[in-house]
Every structure is written in structure tokens, then in C-alpha cells.
Structure 1
């Protein structure tokens, strides 16, 4: 039995939401449509026969088929990155009991960005593997710092205090990033495309580096989901149900940081995917995290991939980075949620 789990006789019985099969089927269909759209649309759309040849006939040599083959790695990475950000958003909302928690809102993405720019400026790094470890370190340190600041004073880590701590930390770290970049034009040239957030530079080596972090983070998220349901009742109620809240928060937070840190390292600080996917899933399925976490991963994959396609279509013949598209959609959502939820606890 896991050290954070609710004891076996107190485990809530798994109740499948009535609309779950329909929602799962809808999300999977949307995921497939977005993946196909990512392969077909871009600066040069391809025909259906080119799509089939590019996927299933390696012996066929044509411009359209070659374009499809080159887009496969980008599509796979956008799916993986979106899944990581979606699951990370669900975990952070559960751990903080904050309905508007998200890696970008809590400053975790900015902490990862600061460590990456420091690595570029002072350590001369330039590979995906180096980016990942620095981004994870920055994300972890920032998460601990924000939670520590938000826990000070009466009431502990309330949702409002965590959001304010995250916003203040993000602003301070962004200033540090700017201070490092301004006198170093060579660093800015390397960093500016990464900073916006894009999946356009994905390759198979980067995906191979990212997959272990995605697998471990998703596995921990699934294992902690039942106990996180108890945590939503409050620390005292969760402790009464046999949950070791400190250990649970540690494991869930580590999983969230692994997922968002690794995604940020390779794609840049893409915001609002976790926020949007988690709230869409919660709206359809209710509050059970045993469903919210996996479905948020699927929804996040579809949302990020669709945003990448929209960016390519809007910016044709070039492209509009996916981080710009998600921010354009996510910022109004954040304002709406803040007005409706009034930053209340989950």
C-alpha cells in the first residue's frame, strides 16, 4: 500500500461518471483529428494521398510525402508536450486546492526559463538533455519557493496567497531573465524563439529525451489520484481518512514539476494548456481526479496540437508560435475563472 494512500477499507468506490464513455470517445476523436490536421496543414498543405504515402509508404518519394514525414516528429512532440502540461495542470490544482493553478500562473515556467537562460549565458549549453535538467532544477526550486511564501502567515497556503506569490515570483524572475539577456545579444538570439513557446524545433532525439520524464510523471499522477480526491476535502479530513498529506503533496508536486519542467525545457514556457484542459474536463466529468488527470492529459494533447495548427495557418507562409496562440485563448479564460470562482478552494 502506498505511503500516501487512503487505507484500503476507506477507499472510495470507483464510480464511473454517466457521460464518461461519450466524453472519452469525443476526446479521442478530437485527438485523432488534431493529429491528422497537424500532418496535413502548414505553410504547404498536403493532399490525402500524400498523407497516406508519407505515413504508410516509405518507398514513395514525393514532395508532399516528404513534408508529412518531416511533420511526424513535430506532431508526436506536440501531443506528448500537451499531455504533460494537461496532467501537470490537474496535479497543481489538486495539490494547491486552487482552481486557477497552472505552471505559468504559479511561476514554475518562469523559474525553468531563468535556469535555461543562465545555462545558455554562463555554461554555454545547447542540447535538449542539458535544457531538461536545468529547467527541472529551476521549476523545482521555484515551486518550493512559491509554496513556502504562500504558506507564510495565518491560514497557511490559501489559494489566493499562492496565486499572489506565484505572480510576484514570476515577475521577479522575468526581470532577472531580462537583465541577463539585454547585455548578451548572442544569448538573446538563441533564447528568444524558445521563450515564446514553440514545438517547431522538435526532433526524435528530443522526444526520446522527454519520454522518460513524461512516463514517470504520468505514472505518479495516476498512483496519487485516489488520495488527491481525499485531499480536496481538506487536510484534516484527508488525515482522518488515513492520507499522509505531506508525503502526498511531495509526490504529486514532484510529478507536476517533472511534467511541466521537461515540457518547458524543450518547447519553452507554454502557458494556459493545463488550465484550459483541466477545466474543460472538470466541466464535463465532475471533480474525481481519477478521471480528471488522464482526461486532462488527452485534452491537453489535443489543445496544444490544435493551437500549433492554428498558429501555422494564421502565420502562413511562416508560423505563429503555439505559445502565442494558447496565451490568446487562455488569458480571457483566466479572467473569467477568476471572476466566477473568486479564487476559492476546490
Structure 2
């Protein structure tokens, strides 16, 4: 059984390779930055960015619901979030904002999200183009399931015509939904390529990153090849133990993992030397990119990005990256779904 498992793992490794997703090497990890959110003009665009924020939050829908409950205010039921991320329901603004806060999106980015929601909402209303006020309510309620005005009672002369129009609107929505499912828009695969490195037993990697000395915490976000299960490595910051990358179960394709560094090791420092040392793995410990976030005045933002791999030696040199016990270097390609029920 061991030999068979090792052979299967070897075959998996031949096709491995995480992706860079939208972890752009620019100044902002989150696709929810001003430029990306400012370009949102459709429900599909909004769903895409919300899904990416969820992936980068590295938390389940259950955890997001718990965070929202602890914060008070708008509740965040898991079923509602699942419908929103799958594109089945246009979210209420309050629900979307509670979701983003639970994902720990910086407060300064939230006004841009509110404006994006309003643009998409207006676009939805414009496409209905009703000719009578009472029909606006009926069509909007059937098609969008979003925030609605108070109930409108139509004039007596229109009441008999209301039901047929509502039925037609509902049939249209069902037809559009069927077309979306048939076209695969709710689980459309994306193929992305990235390059990276890996080290085995006795190996390690080291790099130096910049942070704001006013930080009250630093978080590392690692892009990894999730085909290799049980990857575990110890983390040190400037020579002091700072935690570990905990082992994950293997899964096909790319993966994200985050590790929060103790504030006592990061506060007051403008640079941090990070060392990852191999502890255990079914194969090795791989790394394709690190995004470094710091917390300033209670808000998280991107401080630095280390792009690793033979195609990014300039980033490696800029961060004084070194690796020992290297077992892999190169590029890999994977497909993944932008949205779906399995994201929790």
C-alpha cells in the first residue's frame, strides 16, 4: 500500500503546479483594490471579486458567519453567502459589506465596494426598463432578489395585468439560469501558470521583507502546490521562533495558506528576515509566492510580495531569497473553478 501511494504521489507531482491567481506582484494583494473594484459594472464582475476575497480570507463560511456574529450588526448566514458567491442571488448591500468585513478587507477599500454595488444595482434596474411603476416591483423581485422598496399596491386598473407579467418574468429568469448552467458560467475553469521552488528534509528557505514599523501584526500568505499533502515547516522571524506552516490535506491544484506572526516579533521593525525550515511532508515543501500583509490602525493591507521561481530571480534578489536542499524548480499549470459550492 505504501508503494502504491508513493507511485500515485509521484504521478501527481509530475503534473503539479500552483497558480498565481490574482496575487498580482503589485502594491495590493486583494483584487478588491480601488482599480479592480472601480472596473466592476456587472453582476458577474462583482461575484468574481467577492469569490476571490473569500479565497484570500482563508476561512470557511462558518467562520465568516461567526466573525459577523461577534461584530454585531448584519448577520451573515452561510446559505446566503453561498448563494451570493455562486451568483445565484444579487446580495443586499448590508450583507455584502458584512461579508467583506468578515473577510477582513481594509475599511478604506469599502467605499469603492459600495459604489460598485450601486452601479451593478442600477444596471439591473435599467435592463428591466418597465413602463409602469407596479411592474417595476414585480420584475425586480423575481429577477434580482435584492433589496426591495416597500410593497407597492398597484391601481385597480392594473391589478389584473400584474400576475401574467410576473409569471413571464419568472419564466425568463428560469430560462436565463438554465442557459448559465448549461454554459458553465457558475463553475468556469481558469488555467493559470506560475513558477516556484521546493525543498526537502534538511532544507529551508530564507527571505527578507519590508513592513511598516507601526504594525501591530504581520501575516504571511503562501501560494503553494496543494497536490503535495502534509507540508509542514517551522517559521522564524529574525532568528526567533514564530510558529509554523501547519500540514494540510492534499488537494488537486493550487492552494493558499496564511500564518500570522507574533506582534512582539514584528512591531517597531521595518524589515523581517523570514526562515522556513522543513519539518515533514509526503514529498517536500513548496513555495511559489509570499504576500506579506501588515496591520496598521486595525486595518490589514499589503506590505510586500516575494515572487519565487526561476522566472522571477529579480524578485528573489530584491528580497535576498536563498534556498537549501532544493528538490524542485520550474513552472506548473492548473485549472480551477472561479466559483461553486465547494469553496467552503
State the TM-score bracket (shorter-chain normalisation). under 0.3
> Larger radius of gyration, structure 1 or 2?
2
Q: Normalising to structure 2: TM-score of the pair?
A: 0.24
Higher relative contact order (CA 8 A, sep 6+): 1
Name the one with the larger strand percent. 2
Q: Normalising to structure 1: TM-score of the pair?
A: 0.24
